[in-house]
Structure 1
Amino acid sequence: MADLPPAHPWYHSALWPALGLAGALALWAYAVRHTDVGKLDDFGLVTALHPTFWIALVVLTAGFWSTLAGPRRRHPAWAPAYVVGLLVVERATQAVLYPTPLYAWAWKHDAVIDHLLTSGRLQSADVLGDMAVYDQWPGFFAAQAALVRLLGVDSAAHFMAWWPLVSSLMLLLPLLLIYRTFTEDRRLVWTAVWLFCVGNWVGQDYFSPQSVAFALHLGVLAVVLRRYAAPRTSDPRAPDDRPRAAVWTVVLTLFVTAIVITHQLTPGMLVISLAALFLARRYRDKVPVVTTVALFLAWCLTAALPFLSATMPDMLRSVGDIGGNVETGYGATPTGTGAIVTSWVARLLSASVILLAALGVWRQPVLRHRAFPLLLLALAPLPMFAASSYGSEMIFRVLMFMLPGAAFFAAAALLPQVRTLTANELNPRTRGRRYVWLPLAALLAGTLAFVPSYSGKDRISYFPPAEVRLVQEVFDRAPDGSLVVAADRNYPLAYADYWRVDHYWFLDDAREHVERILASPAATLASDMSAVDPPARAYLVLSQGQYADSEMNGLLTKAQLDHIRAAVAASPLFERVAANDAGVAYVLKETAR
């Protein structure tokens, strides 16, 4: 008898996953085309998005879970396809919607790259002042300057809006290598990756050295976990692994070197993580931690020494001050319904992942034992709370470095108990509807919560083209040695030409001085700006981004900023030089000096 054809051809099992993914991306594309970001409120992108965007996330999440927990075995390529689809929806939406790159810090990094391209070399603090710190950790900026030249574009602003998607995709390979070190269960691996993607809301994926350093950090951990575990056999007939170990030591050294010359904080986090692994029985090889410490110290005692010498007293004073290190401080307090709600959603999202991770550690004793090094990596960043405030951002960085390990155990909490870590199917004894719907509900809640957590402050982060043109006009007319004054640094090009133009943000001053400006805006600002020597000029810029940041972070209200603007406009000490819908710029008259 001839062999019977399969009950279902191969394309039958691919039909529903393909339709789900294509349908979700089609809904997302429709939502993007019908979303207006012209007037963002205090909820950021959340209230501006077309309703089909949220439907797309629901379809995407349900389709992803069906590839892992469906009644039929799906092709293993569908889970990564859905994760990539998630990253496109999460990280590319802003790049498609906004005509200009987000984040004042991204524009600042573009200015650093422009400086490298203009000067052609690194410079010291006697030339650049505080901005010389970027020349002391130039890895990211030098690489991006080379990329700008290679692409033949004017600046990194041409592509940095897409960096969140690029940097997030860079994390997938090291994450997979780390997770597959401890399990072959694809449900656990890909659920952990999904939770990592939706839990990584802290915004360090933007155009920054941290985004690259974090990917390299995970790469180092992947190499150590997979290649530096203690051998489980002492058989003298085992093959000599020394040549292979030498190769991986070279790879490790290259990764660590790239981290050390790129970012200040990440090498410290890496040292703590590697030290924690060294304390585990299976990672007694000293090469990773010794190599990292040696390279880190070498850079700190040479290229980075000027910065560290100036900041070390403050850094030492903050050691042990956990309360001060996690305190947000003045100008970082969410103000208004939208800012407060989105801030709490973000906190609840991170808290949920951490609580699920704790539940996963408790529910899966076999996994807890086998993946103990990953549990150590999740806990290792916590001592950094006692080390420094890192500009009131330490809590966000600690959350980010904890997330790879936390997401793994959180995924374990969502999955039923399995007989072995290599199982790809549900244990028949634990198969049930609740093990399908409860994990799906948790994944969906996290996926939806990511949007306000990640995009809830887009009113602060987005600078319309008119604001870019306004600021660019000021710098185009500013002679060398000029001074550009603004309320705060939340506007595009805030650091443009910093090697030839000085910058001053009066909201960085003590509160007493801000009160003097509010009491007598024109006279106080004219006095602050009068020390500029001709032919240089002093400019005041008040723009949309500054208003948003000041209002939403509890600095000054719109009425107070309007008062300053009106007083300067009416003063004979100032002359308006540029204005449009996004702001206004004034120059201090020569007679006012």
Structure 2
Amino acid sequence: MRPPTTPRERSAPEPAPDGTPARATPDDTAPERAPGPRAPSSSESSSPAHEPVTDLSDLPPVWPGRRGLTAARPAVPLLAALALWGYAVRHTDVSRLDDFGLVTALHPAFWAGLVVLTAGFWYTVRDPRRPGGWPAAYVLGLLVMERATQAVLYPTPLYAWAWKHDGVVDHLLTAGGLQTADQIGDMAVYDQWPGFFAAQAALVRLLGVESTAMYMAWWPLVSSLMLLLPLLLIYRTFTEDRRLIWTAVWLFYVANWVGQDYFSPQSVAFALHLGVLAVVLRRYGRSGGARGRRGQAVWTAVLSALVVAMVISHQLTPAMLAVSLLALCLVRRSRDWVPPVTTAVIFLAWCGTAALPFLSAAMPDMIRSVGDVGGNVATGYGATPTGTGAVATSWAARLLSGTVLLLAVAGVWRQRVLRHRATPLLVIAAAPLPMFVASSYGSEMIFRVLMFMLPGAAFFAAAALLPRVRTLAAEAEADARGPRARATAPAAGRRAVAVAGPLLVLVAATLAFVPSYSGKDRINYFPPEEVALVQRLFDQAPEGSTVVAANRNYPLAYASYGTVDHYWFLDDDRRHVDEILRSPAATLARDMTGVERPARAYFLLTQGQFANSEMNGQLTGDQLDRIRDSVAASPRFRLVAENGAGVVYELRREGGAER
């Protein structure tokens, strides 16, 4: 145990030039104090809600010892974890994924690497003598292991929706401009929110690559990195303790499994959403006279640019942002109405002009869904996990999210100082909940609400894993009263529990991320053979052709959507699906007639469609096999292409006419 130190005199920090309170640096050499409840001082209750606090200064260092400890010691577990990760990805085979996705395919060294990385992070972030760059290095290591593993392991990009967005960018480059519903049908919705796709089209031209498929496999890592700076800015608004900040960042990333990070407008819009919140929380509602007003005008311009970029790229995120900003004003945690008004005006202006065609057609369904909470959170036919693997990974995701939310509740309950100081984060976490009443968002509203709640929830969940918070005023008051006012250090047993208990929670949460995030890779991964088969189909399909498939879960599903039509029979009413099951070839041939020369009608069935149908409760593998065998045996169909990943048939023409 270290010898006691003499309390140092502390003076009030001088205000910064812009009038904001100066931030004090946590005193890493402060005497050890036992955590425990206390009554807030008068200076606490009268201080602004955003005044930073010096948190957790009562935490003893985890690695006490001689001063000669090398500063590079935290690098050992980090490098060991990355070495284990490198070994694991070199010895993982993804050619035969089962219903557990990447979970059962990963080499055991990957799981050992995650444990080593998490333990190294926890012991490093808790040691006040370690430079602040080490927690950042561990978080970057976590992102590499979480978000780059799939890009390294799989030879083709994941996720059918990412391939769809690649098709949208390609169409924008080919068409040379935006198009209406009269020209491209339902796909015109992407031309009414073109911001992300136009930016990607420009990037493709700038990089000189063939398409976004050349880099979109790495987009989860890129988009996750984009969230780091706004997260740090938001958390530093309410605390300067790096242990709390970086633990919150860690929990945010391991609990963010919902998949908004793939190549999509949502990935960028969410980063813009956090950026706007960071600007509002840090730069609005502060005094400073004429200089402050000029500065606020600059930040209003920055905020407007972020909101415009968001509004022209995504439908839901601006609504979530407007709700959060409005909630901050209504509970009087933001003193300026400029941000919510600016957001609302820009959002409504876009909805009333460029996006009006889509909203006019969708408005009746949107109005019917208002108030239907049960329907808005239901998954429904074709989106229900089926099978041991799908159900197990689904429950892993639920338990992970539930654990973080319960930890957040515990953090709010036990950290009274943060409950007062960080009330805006509580508001931000609760603000998305009313969206359950507004819409189902294609049966994904429950996932989106969870995602928008996570920044605030992760902060308080981290607070639950750390000792009780103290403010600067409380520490100064304790020092002024002398040694008797300070409790002795906690016993060794209690200290061990305080270290090991939260570490076990962090390790469990970090490990649970893998099945939550990668448990459906059997659905999301398309092997090169499947990509080549579909590419061959679209290369030879004449303009005006129709492609019929079970569902849209295959690569390039939206390639050439301006010239080729698509029909997915599992999207039909269940009665028609049953009719196809009773007489597959005859029913499909009837559905595929009407395609005029020189266009043709094709039937496509691939590995990805089998996986999606089986694991989401559509049709079983045996049922799809029966459909494929019926088409293969029918004289009305001709085999066009086949490999280990699927088949392509063409509907024959009889007597020069379709029947």
* Same fold, judged at TM 0.5 (above): yes
Match of 2:520 in 1: 457
Q: Report if the CA contact (8 A) 1:113-1:145 is conserved.
A: yes
**Aligned equivalents of 2:449 and 2:487: distance in 1?**
36
SS at the partner of 1:367?
helix
Structure showing greater radius of gyration is 2
Query: Could you say what the CA RMSD is over the residues aligned between the two structures, in angstroms?
Result: 1.6
1:7 Cα offset (Å): 5.9
3-state DSSP class of the match of 1:399? Answer: helix
- Correspondent of 1:97 among 153, 165, 187: 153
Answering whether residue 112 of structure 2 is matched by residue 55 of structure 1, we say: yes
How has the CA–CA distance of structure 1 residues 216 and 381 changed in structure 2, closer, same or farther, with 3 Å as cutoff? same
CA deviations on 1:435-475 (whole Å, 9 max, x unpaired) are 11111111101000000000000000000000000000100
- Residue among 506, 509, 512 paired with 2:569: 506
Aligned to 1:538: 601
C-alpha distance in structure 1 between counterparts of 2:301 and 2:489, whole Å? 48
Give me the whole-angstrom Cα distance separating, in 2, the residues matched to 1:273 and 1:427: 41
Q: 5 Å matches for 1:247-286?
A: 247-286=298-337
Measured after TM superposition, the shift of residue 421 of structure 1 is 7.1
5 Å-filtered alignment, 1:293-442, equals 293-420=344-471, 429=489, 432-442=495-505
Q: Which amino acid aligns with 1:257?
A: V
Is the 1:184–1:423 Cα contact (8 Å) retained in structure 2? no
- Does residue 221 (structure 1) correspond to residue 277 (structure 2)? The answer is yes
Partner amino acid for 1:293? A
CA deviation after TM superposition for structure 1 residue 418, in Å = 2.8
Alignment match, 1:68: 125
Q: Summarize the Cα distance change of 1:388–1:538 in structure 2 as closer, same or farther, 3 Å threshold.
A: same
* Correspondence list, 1:550-569, <5 A: 550-569=613-632
The counterpart of 2:74, out of the listed 17, 33, 36, is 17
Residues 421, 314 of structure 1: CA spacing in aligned structure 2 closer, same or farther, 3 A cutoff?
farther
2 CA distance for matches of 1:184 and 1:504? 55
Aligned to 1:3: none
TM-score of the pair, normalised by structure 1: 0.96
Residue 19 of structure 1 and its aligned partner are, at CA, apart by: 1.0
Deviations for 1:332-368, whole angstroms, at most 9, x for unmatched residues?
A: 1111100000000000000000000001000001100
Task: Tell me the amino acid that sits aligned with residue 381 of structure 2.
Answer: Y
Write the letter of the residue equivalent to 1:49: L
Amino acid at match of 1:113: V
Say if 2:538 is the partner of 1:475: yes
Distance 1:253 1:407 in 2: 27
1:124 corresponds to which letter in structure 2? T
Which 4+ stretches in 1 moved above 6 angstroms? Answer: 421-424
Alpha-carbon distance in structure 1 between the residues aligned to 2:342 and 2:469: 39
Q: 1:151 aligns with which of 207, 210, 222?
A: 207
Which whole-Å CA distance do the structure 2 matches of 1:475 and 1:423 have between them? 69
Taking the aligned partners of 2:285 and 2:292, their CA distance within structure 1 comes to 12
Shift of residue 73, structure 1, vs aligned partner:
1.4
The residue type paired with residue 211 of structure 1 is S
* CA pair 521-282 structure 1, distance change in 2 beyond 3 A: closer
| Contact in 2 for aligned 1:109/1:208 (Cα 8 Å) | yes
Cα gap change, 1:47/1:422 in structure 2, threshold over 3 Å: closer, same or farther? farther
Deviations 1:387-423 (A, max 9, x none): 0000000000000000000000000111011322799
Q: 1:196 aligns to what?
A: 252
Conserved? CA contact 1:537–1:588, under 8 Å: yes
Q: What is the match of residue 297 of structure 2?
A: 246
- CA offsets, 1:234-283, max 9 Å, x none? xxxx5631111111010000000001000000010000000011123341
| Aligned CA distance change for structure 1 residues 512 and 287 (closer, same or farther; 3 Å) | same
Do structure 1's residue 466 and structure 2's residue 529 form an aligned pair? Answer: yes
Contact kept, 8 Å, 1:185 with 1:422, in 2: the verdict is no
2:86 to 24, 29, 36: 29
1:555 positional shift: 0.2
1:230 offset after TM fit, Å? 4.3
8 Å CA contact 2:417–2:470 kept in 1: the answer is no
Q: Quick check: 2:236–2:245 contact (8 Å CA) kept in 1?
A: yes
Identical counterparts, % of pairs: 73
**Counterpart AA for 2:154:** Y
Gap runs ≥5 in structure 1: 1-5
The residue correspondences of 1:33-44 to structure 2 (distance < 5 A) are 33-44=90-101
CA deviations on 1:274-326 (whole Å, 9 max, x unpaired) are: 00111233412111011000000000000000000000000000000000000
Give the drift of 1:381. 0.2
Normalising by the residue count of structure 2, what TM-score does the alignment of the two structures yield?
0.86
2:181 pairs with 1:125:
yes
With over 3 angstroms needed to count, the CA separation of the structure-2 counterparts of 1:7 and 1:301, relative to structure 1, is: same
User: Residues 486 and 542 of structure 1 are in contact (CA less than 8 Å); yes or no, is this contact kept in structure 2?
Assistant: yes
Q: 2:163 aligns with which of 100, 107, 126?
A: 107
Report the Cα distance in structure 2 between the residues aligned to 1:423 and 1:534, rounded to whole angstroms: 82
SS of the aligned residue for 1:13 comes to coil
Query: For the structure 1 residues 191 and 299, does the alpha-carbon distance in structure 2 shift closer, same or farther, using more than 3 Å as the test?
Result: same
Q: Secondary structure at the match of 2:103?
A: coil
Corresponding residue of 2:239: 183
Equivalent position of 1:87 in the other structure? 143
Are the structure 2 counterparts of residues 228 and 427 from structure 1 closer, same or farther at C-alpha, using a change threshold of 3 Å?
A: farther
Is the 8 Å Cα contact of residues 204 and 210 (structure 1) preserved in structure 2? Answer: yes
On the 8 A contact 1:183/1:421 being kept in 2, the answer is no
Structure 2 residue runs of 5 or longer lacking an equivalent are 1-64, 476-485
Separation in 2, partners of 1:438, 1:428:
22
Question: How far apart, in 1, do the equivalents of 2:638 and 2:538 lie?
Answer: 16
Classify the secondary structure of the residue corresponding to 2:291.
coil
The amino acid of 1:315's aligned partner reads M
Distance 1:7 1:86 in 2: 30
Instruction: Kindly provide the CA deviation profile for residues 488-526 of structure 1, in whole angstroms up to 9, marking residues without a partner as x.
Output: 000000111000000000000000000010000001000
**Which amino acid counterpart does residue 327 of structure 1 have in structure 2?**
A
| Pair 145,401 (structure 1): closer, same or farther in 2 beyond 3 Å | same
SS in 2 for 1:497: coil
